[in-house]
Structure 1
Amino acid sequence: MSETSSFVDPVFLARFGLHRANAIDYFLHPLNPFRTKSKTSNEVLNMQGIGIGTLCQWGTGSRPGPLTLEEGEEEYRIALGRLTGEQYELLPLPKEVEGMTPQQLSALFTIRHVHRTSSSQTKVLGIYYILEGVIYKCPSVRGLMKAHIARTLEGLSEACDALSVCARYDPSSGYSWKFEPNEEDEEDVDDVLSYEQERRRRKRRRILDNRRPGERTEEEEEGIRASESIDRILSRLSKSDVVVKGKLRS
């Protein structure tokens, strides 16, 4: 069964309603796909006429009825503790859950599927909850981890996509970042060229500032002059009629 599956029986709800006294009976519905196919201790108690509702009404030999709902649930748990095998336990109602009103809490039922080997040893096989008459399976730790990791990866992917448009790369200086907001999807060619030229000038300035006067070789001086000449040529080309008209056509 998928963890996103659910089960509801409108006929049962319309006829008997749903409350803590019959929540286990509702979960043991023959059509409920979540219930085990094995015979459970709950069914053994049902054949003996023992249920939360009957315990509240008639009580037990040591505690005659009528009993309160809390006392009836306690006696039902004691009766389950005397048996072994697969069982369904109705967990106590939490006193307070953040974001839920008392009315919403009263419509929430948590059922734990266990395999009992003794009165004190049980192994949890699954947890289910009933909300507004609909039975759901509680997600596993693995499922929760997968969901958290998927959301984290999605956030990281969106962050990388947002940062990728700010990255600039130059073979001589490597990567740099420009975080200025850009209202248009396509950047202006002149802005890109001036940005690249300014970055190269800063790169050359950093290299030259770290040298003492007279330490630059002729090859370095020649490279600087050639780079400045290329910058001037690119600047003139970006303002030429061919580039401007081509840009307007696109």
Structure 2
Amino acid sequence: MANPEKVSAENPLHLSWHDSAWIPLLNRGNVLKYFSERSNSFYDSQCNNEIIKMQGLSLDHLTNMTGIEYTLLHCQEPILYIIRKQMRHSPTHVVSIADYYIIAGIVYQAPDIKSVVNSRLTSSLHHLDSAFSEAISYSRYHPSKGYWWQFNDDNKTEGKEKKTKKKKEEPGSLFQCRRVDQLLDNLTSKFPHKFYQVQPGGQPVPLQKDTSENADAKAERVNQQTSADATAKATTGALSGTSNTPGSITVKSSQSPAPSATQLRVKSEMSDNMKQPFEKRTKYV
């Protein structure tokens, strides 16, 4: 396995440098001084800029010298600066060696065309190789059937299930438990439980209180039944010849007079509200 320090030394594209003390003060006039710090690994201390710096001369004297030099190529204050390293052979002939860009005070080496093309091709080949390897893993062959594709979605579904696992539910606090009990008590008082009463030989029937509409309906049915009974008795009396004309003999009936509508209504309410023995009750719902 290669040493990471050797790899970084061989490939400066993986390196960066910055000095936090200089970052707030960077501008067009001092960016070359910032780049020429001794701790900067991209700076060559044997360049012409270092000679001029030690002699206290201006940068205009670089055109009269030969050798490696650094110059400010582009500036977009306060965020971007581009510095070029070049070899000067004459005042009019220079050869570019490398470019460096400074973004937010951090120095990087700009990749050359060869490095960019090589990186993109390597990345494309890696993805193509991964795609072909995955496609081959799904191919199947049998002498009687030939070739076919078999895609297994079990691995994908298992991965999704692991991601969508529910978190453990934390128990409620004491305040939440008391609050829930209070709400349940209020609901129970507003909407009491309905009890069911078992009738002999029948299905359990819920007990319901007579409302005003149910009472009126029962009274109307009682009145209809009373009028029907009276009509039937009158018809029976006419057929038997017991009339109330003078000289006729009145036959007293042994039956008791018909109850009134109010009495029938009271009896029906009492019969509905009567409770049967405890053994015949069932549990409430």
Q: Which gives a bigger RCO, structure 1 or 2 (Cα 8 Å, sep 6+)?
A: 1
Give the TM-score taking structure 2 as reference length.
0.44
Which structure has the greater CA radius of gyration? 2
